[in-house]
């Protein structure tokens, strides 16, 4: 499963960057998450781990609020895009840091990508200082004006769960958590752009190769029109 996720993101660098340039969505999520996390510490962060940093969108946001930000990602191709911050190719289930290294650990749109988020959450507990803060953002999907899942009637291979509930439950086991939902008005064209990222199209067609799955996602979403609402759950935890 992890090797598949890694390959999917290795294949996604240019499409991910193009989506971010066009929408700024991951920057917006990281800024909102950073604000929630910052509200729970005294002063700026000394050291933040950006866990699942990708090409560094979230790293740049956290770097504005921390004296030191370390980017870690499973995908060599994603993380090599990042030039400014210390970067580590690694798995957030096995963090290569000693206990108590950070006062913030942020999972911006990353913790839902593992089968069991509890493993990474325990690692976050270990590398956090006692007063540390953890934050995560996980997708809740897209809904139309009537609140219906826009994918509900679309034929695809997978109805892959978003994992938001599992992420929240894992964090709540170890931290006192606060959670909420962020809603973004999103064009149909942006939903198509999102699924032009091979790693994102994999949630619809996990068994196809990158080009095929992106092409099938484009066909699937061809008829989508107007605007829909994209929802993300945020969860911030402080040590109990
Ligand atoms: C949707 S991207 C988000 C990237 C970045 N946080 C941002 O805001 O743009 C999710 C990232 O999580 C990484 N990832 C998934 N599972 C991981 C794991 N077990 N350890 C480290 N990184 C992981 C992927 O490689 C990918 O780059």
Indicate the number of domains in the chain: 1
Measured by CA distance, the residue closest to atom 18 of ligand 1 is 91
pLDDT, one tens digit per residue, over 106-120 is: 999 999 999 899 999
Pocket test for ligand 1, best of 20, 52, 197 (most atoms within 8 A of CB): 52
Q: Is the pLDDT of residue 43 over 60?
A: yes
What pLDDT, on a 0 to 100 scale, did the predictor assign at position 25? 97
pLDDT, one tens digit per residue, over 187-232 is: 999 999 999 999 999 989 989 999 999 999 999 999 898 999 999 9
Distance from the alpha carbon of residue 53 to the mean position of ligand 1, in angstroms: 5
Domain of residue 188: give its range. Answer: 2-239
What pLDDT, on a 0 to 100 scale, did the predictor assign at position 240? 72
CA quadruple 92, 7, 112, 190: dihedral positive or negative? positive
Q: Is the pLDDT of residue 33 over 60?
A: yes
Residue 34: CB atoms within 10 Å: 23
pLDDT, one tens digit per residue, over 117-171 is: 999 999 999 999 999 999 999 999 999 988 898 888 787 877 665 589 999 999 9
Q: Is the pLDDT of residue 73 over 80?
A: yes
Ligand 1 binding residues, C-beta < 6 A: 2, 5, 9, 26, 30, 52-54, 57-58, 72-75, 78, 91-93, 108-110, 113-114
Task: Determine the Cα–Cα distance for residues 129 and 55; give it in Å rounded to an integer.
Answer: 26
CATH number for 113:
3.40.50.150
What pLDDT, on a 0 to 100 scale, did the predictor assign at position 151? 85
| pLDDT: which is higher, 157 or 74 | 74
Strand order in the sheet with 66-73: 87-89, 66-73, 45-51, 102-108, 128-143, 227-239, 175-187
| Closest ligand 1 atom to Cα of 93 | 19
What pLDDT, on a 0 to 100 scale, did the predictor assign at position 198? 96
What pLDDT, on a 0 to 100 scale, did the predictor assign at position 49? 98
What pLDDT, on a 0 to 100 scale, did the predictor assign at position 126? 98
Task: Determine the Cα–Cα distance for residues 217 and 237; give it in Å rounded to an integer.
Answer: 35
């Amino acid at each position: 499963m992890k090797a598949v996720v890694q390959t999917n993101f290795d294949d996604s660098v240019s499409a991910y960057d193009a989506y971010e340039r066009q929408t700024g969505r991951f920057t917006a999520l990281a800024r909102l998450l950073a604000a929630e996390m910052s509200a729970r510490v005294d002063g700026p962060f000394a050291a933040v781990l950006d866990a699942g940093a990708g090409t560094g969108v979230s790293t740049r946001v956290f770097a504005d609020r921390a004296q030191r930000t370390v980017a870690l990602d499973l995908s060599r191709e994603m993380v090599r895009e990042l030039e400014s911050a210390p970067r580590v190719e690694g798995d957030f289930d096995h963090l290569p840091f000693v206990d108590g290294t950070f006062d913030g650990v942020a999972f911006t749109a990353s913790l839902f990508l593992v089968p069991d988020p509890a493993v990474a959450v325990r690692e976050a507990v270990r590398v956090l200082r006692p007063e540390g803060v953890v934050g995560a953002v996980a997708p809740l999907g897209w809904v139309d004006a009537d609140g219906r899942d826009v994918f509900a009637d679309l034929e695809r291979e997978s109805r892959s769960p978003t994992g938001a509930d599992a992420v929240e439950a894992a964090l709540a086991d170890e931290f006192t958590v606060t959670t909420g939902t962020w809603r973004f008005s999103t064009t149909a064209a942006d939903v198509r752009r999102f699924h032009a990222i091979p790693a994102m199209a994999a949630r619809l067609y996990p068994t196809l190769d990158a080009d095929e799955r992106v092409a099938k996602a484009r066909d699937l979403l061809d008829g989508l029109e107007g605007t829909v609402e994209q929802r993300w759950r945020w969860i911030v935890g402080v040590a109990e």
